């Protein structure tokens, strides 16, 4: 009995896959196929799968050449499986030529010619309407966005860029040949399907409102708005026009943070009683966030992150909010502690510019606590601790690149209708954040008037 084994994602199952499996089976008597899990597929950079895992596995199982289907969910599994199943031959398409030679230690390795002219990613792009992004702003985050959007399949392209300071947009476009500079925001809105707004905080609301009124989906950098009423209005327009409006707090969409929350929800640390997290950044003194006396400062720049776990774990209702800030000579806050409680749990979110502290997060509960390693906002490693100091459970969840790909992929998923839930960052949470920003700016204004 000669056993052949192969692996694949098999998204949007097609003749290329079938050809591979037929030729693989011809090399032996039994063919085992490992189908890659969603999480492991994402770890390998393929983000936007069209088929669910059970559809992908069912398609492979229904193939007449396949005898057994297993799930591939971690690096190193191929070596384990080949020994476990005593596979005689490992087969894969020759787009992987050389990548699996190390398996020759256990079995024959065969790279078969790919079927030309077909691939899951081309199929994934073809049937779905292309989404053309217009980008507003051309600062640091835009450069990261333009790189990250390339990792999101599904026909997603940034094609226009607008900045009132045209020369800045031209510099960004120079680095991205398929990006054209628009001379006005209304003109850009005519050319795109969705906008990514990454302009200074105080302009977000107006840009988002105009885009929504023009029927465009909006992914807006945090903070979406600095007033509760403005945030409410934006979501109302989006709902009325069946448009997607998302606040781009990248942590909310990354798999590690989602895993952290679901582990806490399952009761691993009992009832949450305290959330402490920090986000501080040492910057040059002349950057926007340290010179704009009206909208700059540590809290408006970074508190979208520190508010996220607090609102996720304490909820958005009946919150008591108090601030403590240290200001520079211009009344800009360099270090702010936001104390938020809901009658059952406490929290302290620390934000700092020009002050540096540990970027970790601690969630304290009645049965133990979770420590999320710095930078907690790129959640990838966390551990659960109990009374017994030896009783520690470690978790590691892959965080790809700059992490913007997760919010972009979710934005595209929701525009395509592939999924509609806003559970990663709900409307209520975005509106509550805007309310807390509004409270902070009133607090700061009050202190300046004293
Ligand atoms: N394939 C092919 N011809 C195509 C498309 C795919 O022969 N036109 C082969 C691939 O080479 C692979 C198999 O079909 O051997 C599954 O392809 P994918 O689903 O794209 O999976 P891939 O990401 O290539 O997975 O770790 C090994 C990988 O898991 C292979």
Residues 46, 90, single domain; the answer is yes
Which atom of ligand 1 is nearest to 78's Cα?
Answer: 26
Q: 95: CA distance to ligand 1 center in Å? A: 8
* Tens digits of residue pLDDT in 207-260: 999 999 999 999 999 999 999 999 999 999 999 999 999 999 999 999 899 999
Which residue's CA lies nearest to atom 12 of ligand 1?
Answer: 93
Say yes or no: CB of residue 56 within 6 Å of ligand 1.
no
Which atom of ligand 1 is nearest to 10's Cα?
Answer: 19
How far is the C-alpha of 175 from the C-alpha of 160, rounded, in Å? 13
Residues 168, 304, single domain; the answer is no
In a domain, 410, yes or no: no
> What strand order describes the sheet that includes 217-221?
180-181, 156-162, 131-136, 194-197, 217-221, 245-248
The β-bridge partners of 371 are 362, 383
Domain membership of residue 223 as a residue range: 128-249
Residues 240, 354, single domain; the answer is no
The β-bridge partners of 337 are 324, 350
Which residue's CA lies nearest to atom 24 of ligand 1?
Answer: 8
Nearest of 158, 153, 132 to residue 45 by alpha carbon? 153
Residues 343, 237, single domain; the answer is no
Q: Residue 187 is inside which H or E element, if any?
A: helix 185-191
Q: 6: CA distance to ligand 1 center in Å? A: 9
Which CATH number goes with the domain that contains 198? 3.40.50.720
Q: What is the pTM of this model?
A: 0.80
Residues 316, 443, single domain; the answer is yes
In a domain, 403, yes or no: no
Say yes or no: CB of residue 5 within 6 Å of ligand 1.
no
Residues 139, 81, single domain; the answer is no
Which atom of ligand 1 is nearest to 46's Cα?
Answer: 23
The β-bridge partners of 335 are 326, 352
Q: How is residue 351 annotated by DSSP?
A: E
Which CATH number goes with the domain that contains 16? 3.40.50.620
pLDDT of amino acid 49? 78
The ranges of the chain with pLDDT < 70 are 47, 124-129, 153-155
Residues 262, 344, single domain; the answer is yes
pLDDT of amino acid 154? 54
Q: How many domains, in total, are found in the chain?
A: 3
* CA 446 to chain CA mean position, Å: 36
pLDDT of amino acid 150? 83
Say yes or no: CB of residue 37 within 6 Å of ligand 1.
no
Residues 317, 379, single domain; the answer is yes
The neighbour count for residue 382, using CB atoms within 10 Å, is 24
Which residue's CA lies nearest to atom 25 of ligand 1?
Answer: 8
Assess contact for 273 and 364: CB atoms under 8 A.
yes
* Tens digits of residue pLDDT in 401-429: 899 999 998 999 899 887 778 999 999 99
Residues 355, 278, single domain; the answer is yes
Which residue's CA lies nearest to atom 28 of ligand 1?
Answer: 8
Q: 92: CA distance to ligand 1 center in Å? A: 7
Residues 430, 304, single domain; the answer is yes
Q: 193: CA distance to ligand 1 center in Å? A: 32
In a domain, 298, yes or no: yes
């Amino acid at each position: 009995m000669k056993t052949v084994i192969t692996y694949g994602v098999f998204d949007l199952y097609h003749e290329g896959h079938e050809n591979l499996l037929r030729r693989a089976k011809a090399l032996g008597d039994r063919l085992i196929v490992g189908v890659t899990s969603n999480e492991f597929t994402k770890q390998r950079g393929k983000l936007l799968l069209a088929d669910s895992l059970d559809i992908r596995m069912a398609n492979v199982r229904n193939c007449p050449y396949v005898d057994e289907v297993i799930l591939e969910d971690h690096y190193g599994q191929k070596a384990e499986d080949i020994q476990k199943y005593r596979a005689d031959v490992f087969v894969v398409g020759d787009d992987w030529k050389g990548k699996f030679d190390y398996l020759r230690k256990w079995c024959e390795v065969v790279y078969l010619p790919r079927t030309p002219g077909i691939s899951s990613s081309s199929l994934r792009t073809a049937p779905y309407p292309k989404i053309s992004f217009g980008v507003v702003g051309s600062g640091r985050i835009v450069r990261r966005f333009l790189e990250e959007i390339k990792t999101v399949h599904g026909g997603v392209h940034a094609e226009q860029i607008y900045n009132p300071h045209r020369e800045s947009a031209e510099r960004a476009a120079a680095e991205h040949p398929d990006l054209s500079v628009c001379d006005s925001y209304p003109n850009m809105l005519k050319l795109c399907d969705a906008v990514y707004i990454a302009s200074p905080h105080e302009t977000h609301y107006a840009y988002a409102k105009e885009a929504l009124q023009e029927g465009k989906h909006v992914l807006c950098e945090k903070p979406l708005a600095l007033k509760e009423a403005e945030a409410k209005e934006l979501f109302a327009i989006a709902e009325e026009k069946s448009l997607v409006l998302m606040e781009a707090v990248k942590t909310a969409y990354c798999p590690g943070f989602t895993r952290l929350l679901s582990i806490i929800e399952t009761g691993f640390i009992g009832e949450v009683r305290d959330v402490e997290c920090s986000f501080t950044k040492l910057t040059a003194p002349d950057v926007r966030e340290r010179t704009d006396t009206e909208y700059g400062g540590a809290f408006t720049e970074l508190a979208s992150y520190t508010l996220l776990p607090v609102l996720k774990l304490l909820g958005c209702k009946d919150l008591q909010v108090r601030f403590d800030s240290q200001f520079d000579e211009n009344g800009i806050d360099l270090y702010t502690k936001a104390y938020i409680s809901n009658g059952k749990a406490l929290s302290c979110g620390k934000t700092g510019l020009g002050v540096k502290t540990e970027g970790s997060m601690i969630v304290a509960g009645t049965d133990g606590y979770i420590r999320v390693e710095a930078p907690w906002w790129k959640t990838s490693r966390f551990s659960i601790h109990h009374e017994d100091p030896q009783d520690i459970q470690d978790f590691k969840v892959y965080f790809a690149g700059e992490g913007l790909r997760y919010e972009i992929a979710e934005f595209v998923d929701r525009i395509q209708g592939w999924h509609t839930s806003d559970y990663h960052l709900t409307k209520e949470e975005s509106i509550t954040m805007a309310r807390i920003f509004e409270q902070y700016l009133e607090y700061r204004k009050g202190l300046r008037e004293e």
